[in-house]
Structure 1
Amino acid sequence: MKLHTLEKPSLHVFDQLESEVRSYCRSFTTVFATAKNAKLWDKRGHEYIDFFAGAGALNYGHNNEAIKEKLVEYLLQDGVTHGLDMATTAKEHFLARFHDVILKPRGMTHKVMFPGPTGTNAVESALKIARKVTGRSSILCFTNAFHGMSLGSLAVTGNKFKRSGAGIDLGNAAFMPYDGYFGRSVDTTAYIEKMLDDPGSGIPLPAAVIVETVQGEGGLNTASRGWLQKIAALCKQRDILLIVDDIQMGCGRTGTFFSFDEAGIDPDIICLSKSIGGYGLPMALTLLKPEIDQWSPGEHNGTFRGNNLAFVAAAQALRYWENGELQAEVAVKSRTIRHALEQMVKRDGELGGEIRGRGLIQGIAFDEDGAAEQLCAIAFKKGLIMETSGPRSEVAKLMPPLTIEPAVLEQGLRLLAESLDELVKLRTEKRPFKFKGKGVG
C-alpha cells in the first residue's frame, strides 16, 4: 500500500467552523467518506485499515450488515426512535435479549439502568447511587484511571491534563496504586488495605471502589486475576461497593463479554457503553444489583436515555454472544497480534518496547518520549489508523474491530511492522518528526 500523500486533503471547513477542542482529526488528517467492517475510505478514495474502531465503539465493525438490516427494517416500519424512558417494543426486546443472552447464563440478577447515551453518564450514575446507598461520599480510584470527562467522572480520573480541563478542584476521591504501579513484584492491595484500616491514614471508608480491568486510556495496564479478586474481597469485607468500568473493555474487547468474566468476581455495579450500542450508536447501561437499585423515580434521568435505534442494534449485536464462536475468533486474533508484536519488539529493540494489554486491545509501550506518537503518524501515512495511550502518550495501541477479517488483520500488522522499521530509521538518523496530538475515546 503506497503512502497516502499524493494530495493534501482540505480541512478548511473544520479549521474555520469547528471548535479548537477537536482532536482526532488533527492526527488523522483526511476527510473520511465511507467505511466497512475494519476499513475506511476518505473522499479521495484512499483506503485505511482501522485499528482504532471508534475508540472501542465499533467492536462489530463499521456498517455491520446484519445490524444494519434490522435498523433499516425498524426505520421503514416507523418504529419509535426517541422515547425517553417510556416503554417501547425496541427496549422490551433489548432487555429480554440482554437478560437471556448475557445475564442469565452468568447467574447475574443485575437490574438494567439507562443513564444517558455516553460512558460518562454511566459512571456518573454509578457514583451517585453508590453514595446514596452507602451514605458515604468518597470514591476509591486508581492511578492512571480514565472514567470520563464530566466532573464526577473526572474526579476519579488520574490524568493530569484531562483533570485540568475541569477548571475547579475535583474532590471526594482517593487515588490508590493500580496493579503493577510499583512493578509486578509489589502487591498494591496490601497498601490499599493498610490505608483503609489505619485510622491515621487520612483515608475515609469509601462508598465504592471503581476500577478498569485494563486501563485503556491509562496505558494498557492490565490487572491480574489475583489482584482483581483481592480488590473484590477487600470491598466485600468492608461493605464497599465494587464498580467495574467496562465501557471500553466490555462487549468482548478482552475476549469475553465482560472483561472480568475470567477473574470470577461479582461487581455490584457495572458500567457499559461504546460497543453496547452495536452500531456505533450512543447507548450506555449501568447494571445494578437489585438491593442497590434504590433510585426514586426520575432521580437520575436524561433526554436521550431512550435511544431506540441503539436498542434495536444492541439486541441484534447480542447474536454474537449466543455461542462461543466470536469469543474463539477473538482468542485466535489475540494470539496473532501478540506474536506479531513480539516479533516487532525483538527485531526493533532499540526503542525499548514493552507489549501490554490483552485480547484485541494490545500495544507497544516505548521508553523514548514521542516514539508512540511518531509511530502512529507514520502508520497513518501508510494507511493504518491507530492511536496512542498512556499519561505521556507512550503506548501505540491496537484496537481493531472484533470482526476484522484475518487477512486484513495480517495486512494491518505488516503495515505496523513497516512503520516501526521506519521509526527506528528516523530515530537513528535523528530526523525531526512532528505529530499533532490525539483525542479521548
Structure 2
Amino acid sequence: MSIPPPPGPRQPEDFPGPHAQGQYPQGPYAAPQPQGAPPPPQFPYGPQGLHGPQGPYPPYGPYGLQPPAAGGTVNGVAIAALVCGLLCFLPAVGLVLGLIALWQIRRRSERGRGMAIAGSVLSSVGLALWVLSLSTGAAADFWEGFKEGARGNTVLALEEGDCFDSPDGLVGWAIEADQVPCSQEHDGEVFALVTLPDGAFPGDDSLVDTADDRCYALQDGYAMDAWALPSDVDVYHITPSRESWDYGDRVITCVFGNRDADATLTGSLRRDESTLDADQVAYLKATHVLNAALDQIPLEEAEEDLPGNQKWAGQMSEALAQQSGMLREHEWPADAERPVTKLVGELEKAEAAWAKAAEADGLDAFYEHSAEGWELIDARKTVTARKALGLATIPPTFDEGESGSESGTGGGNDGADDGSLEV
C-alpha cells in the first residue's frame, strides 16, 4: 500500500526561500506588516487545502500550499491510518497503523495525533462491522447480489446444464465465462454445483481435494450412462478463491471438459431424467449399484491382503443381489423384457460366485471363484439389453485395454477406444 506524503509545507520551485530578519520576498504573497499593526487573521485548513471564507490574505504561495505551523511535520503513518479508517477497507490495517502513529508521534514530537486517533476509532468500527456482517450473513447477501449483477459473462453466473466458453481456459484462474448453446462448440459444460458449509477458508489444497471427491461422485447423476461419455472427456472444477470466500462464495462448480486443453466439446453430455425415458433411467440406476461396489476394489492384491479382498467380494455379492432385484421389479417394454431377464440370470450367477469368493478357504479358491465372478459381469453381456432400451452399446475402455463391467467412462457410440476416465 502506498502512503501519501504528509500535507506539511512544501515550497514551489520559484519560491525565493528563507530570508534573514528584516528581509521579505517580493510580490503579493508575503508582505511585511507595519510596526504595531494587528496580526493577520488565521484561517482553518486541512488536508484538502484551505477552507473557510477568503479574506484579503491569499493562500501561502502560488499553489495554495499550507502555511507552516509549530510542532514539527505531520506523521505520515497517521495520515495512512485516517485514510484506511475513512474508506473502511482493510480496517485491521488502519487500526494497527493508528497505534503505530501514536507511538511515533509521542516519540518524535510530530503532529497528527488527532488523525491517528480518528483512524484507529474508525478502523475499530469498520472491523466490528466486518465481523458482524460475516456472523449475520450480510456478506453472503452481498455476494448473492454481486453474482446477480454479474450474470451473463462470469463463472459466478454458471448453473447446472450451462455450456460456456472460457477465454482463460479450464485450468488455472477462471474469471470470464460466455454462455453458449450446448449444440455448438464450447469449452465446458456444468454438471453439478456443490455448496460448502460456512466457516474459515479451508485452503486451496483442501478445496481441490473436496472438489475432486464431490465432482467425480456427482457426474453419474448428470451423465447417468457412462458408456455415452466420449473418451476425451474429463472432469474439471471451479473453486472459490480466498478473496471470494470472504464475501460468501461457497460454491464448487463441477464441469465436463476436453482432456486436450486446445480442444472443445460439441453437444450436451446430459443423460438424466430430463433427457431419458423411465425404462432407461431404471436400468441405469440399477447399474450404478454395481459401479459403486466396483469403486471400492482394494488397492492391494489378494496375495497381500486376502481378508480385505474377501470382504470386498462380499460387497460385490450384495451389490449384485440388489441390482438383480431392481431389474426384476421393473416392468420392461416387450422388446426389452427378454434380454433384461437373461441379463438378470447372469447377474444372479455372478452374485453366487462372489459370495463363494468371500468365503473361500485359501488364496487359490478365492481366485477361482472371483475369476468366475469377473467373467459373469463382463460388460459385453449387457449390450443386447442396452440396445433394446436405446442406450449406448459400445463398452467403455480401461487403461489395461480390456472391457470390464458396466462401470467406466469414455465409451460413447463413436467406437473410440483410445482411453478412458476412471470412475
Shared fold by TM > 0.5? no
TM-score normalised to the size of structure 1? Answer: 0.24
TM-score normalised to the size of structure 2? Answer: 0.25
* Structure with more contact order per residue of length (Cα contacts < 8 Å, sep ≥ 6): 1
Larger Rg: 2
Between structures 1 and 2, the one with greater strand share: 1
